Amino acid sequence: MSDQSAVPSLPLPGGASIPQLGYGVFKVENDVAADVTVQALEAGYRHLDTAKVYGNEEGVGRAIRASGVAREDIFLTTKLWNDAQRFDDAITACEASLERLGTEYVDLYLVHWAVPVQGTYVEAWKALVELQKRGLARSIGVSNYPLPQLREAIDATGVVPSVHQIELHPYFQQRELRAFHEEHGIVTESWGPLGQGKSDLLENAAITEIAAAHGATPAQVVLAWHLASGLVTIPKSVTPSRIVENLAAAQLELTAAEVAAIDALDRPDGRGGADPSTKES
Ligand SMILES: NC(=O)c1ccc[n+]([C@@H]2O[C@H](COP(=O)([O-])OP(=O)(O)OC[C@H]3O[C@@H](n4cnc5c(N)ncnc54)[C@H](OP(=O)(O)O)[C@@H]3O)[C@@H](O)[C@H]2O)c1
């Protein structure tokens, strides 16, 4: 399918909106990113998620220009890496990201990880508030902020992140953070939405049964669950058929019972990536 109109958007404070289904490029080498991101834009994605640390901002920027899709029709996210959380460093880092991307603004700039032990997660957030004021980032948010650090950043600035990007998939549903987000009007964005290939998620019987019932793939069922749950998500694939398959998940509607069956897969030990409370660098 190549119909982005099937992808719903969620409103962000200030009048912007974020397409609920986007395309992530974690662990994609720069030149490959330049190629697969064009494929994603041709397939119909209009939301791209990169980061300074992925080393592929230049390739993503090249793809945007090569695609012929107008910059203003793309929702573009990048992230501030952990070594640049000091105020002045963060401003410079954002300017450098924009330079690599070849754009004058990003739609969303995120602090990539809180890294509580560094003690600069509030300072980083203050820098993002400034970057938004200067127009370099249309919307700002955080990623991988444990609840205490998220509260602290909000209390120190009075500014609530528009988006919090966190590890989230059926085996790790982050109910506590999501409840806080709902209370404060923060959009929850799922990274690792397919479980990053680190578990048997896509072979789980609850998922494969729902997939069979709809003539869909397990990945599409998982992505449809994210969408039905009001989450934004950014699956990554460098496989042409999967790039198209994942976007088509926006057309799959699960029943309330199917959503509930996937809700029941949450596990206390379901985290696959680093724990944001203890990550050190
Ligand atoms: N903020 C953060 O700290 C953070 C951390 C991690 C990720 N992210 C963002 O979130 C995005 C997504 O997370 P992720 O890349 O870690 O994990 P993911 O999207 O959950 O999983 C990607 C893996 O699933 C495979 N896959 C993709 N589509 C599939 C399909 N339809 N069927 C079967 N397998 C499929 C991919 O393989 P192929 O590529 O070989 O097709 C790849 O191995 C990233 O790209 C990045 O933009 C953010």
pLDDT of residue 1: 39
Provide, rounded to the nearest whole percent, the portion of the chain with pLDDT above 90.
98
Catalytic residue, from 54, 105, 121, 145: name it. 54
Query: Domain spans of the chain?
Result: 8-263
Among this protein's residues, is 45 annotated catalytic?
A: no
**Domain 8-263 of CATH type 3.40.50.300:** no
Q: What is the mean pLDDT of residues 153-177?
A: 98
pLDDT, tens digit, 9 for 90 and up, residues 1-57: 345 568 999 999 999 999 999 999 999 999 999 999 999 999 999 999 999 999 999
pLDDT surpassing 70 at residue 138: yes
- Looking at every residue in the chain, the average pLDDT score rounds to 97
pLDDT surpassing 90 at residue 140: yes
pLDDT of residue 10: 98
Residues with CB under 6 A from ligand 1: 24-26, 49, 112, 143-144, 165, 191-197, 202, 217, 219, 234-239, 242, 245-246
Q: What is the mean pLDDT of residues 199-204?
A: 97
pLDDT of residue 70: 98
Q: What pTM did the predictor assign?
A: 0.98
pLDDT surpassing 70 at residue 62: yes
> Residue holding tokens 């948010």?
141
Q: What is the mean pLDDT of residues 66-82?
A: 98
pLDDT, tens digit, 9 for 90 and up, residues 104-122: 999 999 999 999 999 999 9
* Closest ligand 1 atom to 110 CA: 1
pLDDT surpassing 80 at residue 272: yes
Q: What is the mean pLDDT of residues 219-232?
A: 98
Contact 268, 103 (CB under 8 A): no
How distant, in Å, are the alpha carbons of 29, 49, 196, 217 from that of 100?
15, 14, 27, 36
Q: Under 8 Å CB-to-CB from 221, ≥6 apart: which residues?
A: 207, 210, 211, 214, 249, 252, 254, 258, 262
Instruction: Please name every residue paired with 172 in a beta bridge, in sequence order, or none if there are none.
Output: 169
Q: What is the mean pLDDT of residues 128-143?
A: 98
